[in-house]
Structure 1
C-alpha cells in the first residue's frame, strides 16, 4: 500500500535521543476506506480509490451515495486514487495506519499551501526593492524595477518574475521521517513541516 489520506492537526516539537529539539507535525490519518478497486482488465491500470473523513448524507449527491453504498461505507469528503498498488484489496476494506507505515521510515507529504493572495515581488520572489530610502526614493522601496529590455527584443519575456497570486498550490515535501505512530488514535507524527493550514487534507506516500 503506497500511502494514506490525512488531515493536518498542527505542529509540536519533541526531544530526540541526542537531546535535540525537533519540530514535528501531527496528522490524523484514519479511518481510510477503500471505495473503489481498479484493475487492468476493466480500467486498463491497477489502482485503488481511498476515502477519508465523514460527509453528511444530505450533502452527498445521489450518484456518490450509490458509489459509497456499493463499497458498503458511509459517504466520504476526500477521495484519492493510489496507482501501482500491490496485493489484494476489497471494497470497504479499512486501511490501518500500522499496516502501511513504520516508525523510522521516510515518507513524502503532498498538500495545498496556504494562499497569500496577490503579493508584490519582495514577498513573492525575495526581491530587494529599488535603491535605498535616501536620494529621493520615497516610493520605490518595494518596486520591481525595470522589466523591459530596450528596443531589442522590444518585449517582456514570458515567465518574468513579477507581482501576482502567491500560495494556494499543490506542494510536496519529501523525506520526512516517521517519528511515532499512535495506532489507536490513527495519528502519525512526522519530522518537519508540511504544506497547508490546520485541518487541511494531505496525502502521505512512501
Structure 2
C-alpha cells in the first residue's frame, strides 16, 4: 500500500495493482466448448521450464495428432503465438477479445474500485493475540507465565464441550481473501 495526497492536502491510502499486460491465450466458444470465456496468461515463463503441452498450448507444434486431425478436416483452435505464461486464468466475460490480443490496465478505465482476490501472507502457527487480536492477560499481579494465553475456553458440565468456531491459536494466513 501507499498513499496519495488530494488537492486539499488530505492523505488517501491506495493499493497499487499490477494488472497486465495479459495475453489472450485461448477463446472458449459455445459451439466447441459449451460456454463462452477467454483464457488470459500473465508473466512469461522460460520455454525450458515449460512442458511440451504448455508450449503447444500457446504456439503451433508439429505432432502426429495434429497431422491426423488436419487430414480428417478438423480445423485446430487458434494459437496465441507467444511465450508460455506462469499464471493462466479463465474469465467468463462478454468482451469479444481475439486470441493473441493483449489486455492491459486500460480495460479498467472508468472503474472507481475493483475487487481483488488473492492469497494472504502465511504467518504459520500463531497465538490468539496475533491471530484474533485478543488483549492477553494482566502483565503483573496474579498471572503465572500465561500473559499471552487466551484464558478460559469452555463452560461447565453442560454442554461439556467447546462450540465449533471457538477462537484459538492455530495456523494464520495463507488463505484466499477478497
Where on the TM-score scale, by shorter chain, does this alignment land: which range? Answer: 0.7 to 0.9
The CA deviation string for residues 59-103 of structure 1, in whole angstroms up to 9 with x for no partner, is: 1111111111132111111112111x11322211111322x1125
Instruction: Give the deviation of 1:164 after TM superposition.
Output: 0.7
SS in 1 for 2:9: coil
Aligned residue for 1:49, secondary structure, equals: strand
List runs of 5+ in structure 2 lacking aligned partners. 60-78
SS in 2 for 1:67: helix
Q: Structure 1 residues 102, 89: CA separation in 2 closer, same or farther (over 3 Å shift)?
A: closer
Structure number having the greater helix percentage: 2
Equivalent-residue separation in structure 1 for 2:105 and 2:139 (angstroms): 56
Inter-partner Cα distance in structure 1 for 2:2 and 2:129: 30
Aligned residues: 159
**Which residue of the partner structure matches residue 142 of structure 1?**
148
Q: Residue 46 and residue 143 in structure 1: after superposition, are their counterparts in 2 closer, same or farther (change >3 A)? A: same
**Deviation string, structure 1 residues 118-162 (Cα, Å, up to 9, x no partner):** 1001110111223x2333303121111122222222222222111
**Structure 1 residue aligned with 2:5:** 15
Query: What's 1:91 paired with?
Result: 99
Q: Greater share of strand residues, 1 or 2?
A: 1
Q: Which has the larger radius of gyration?
A: 2
Q: CA deviation at 1:104?
A: 5.8
1:152 paired to 2:125: no
SS in 1 for 2:142: coil
- In structure 1, the gaps of 5 or more residues are 1-10, 173-206
Report runs of 4+ in structure 1 exceeding 6 Å deviation: none
**1:113/1:169 contact within 8 Å kept:** yes
**1:78 correspondence with 2:87:** yes
| Distance in 2 (alpha carbons) for counterparts of 1:72 and 1:104 | 31
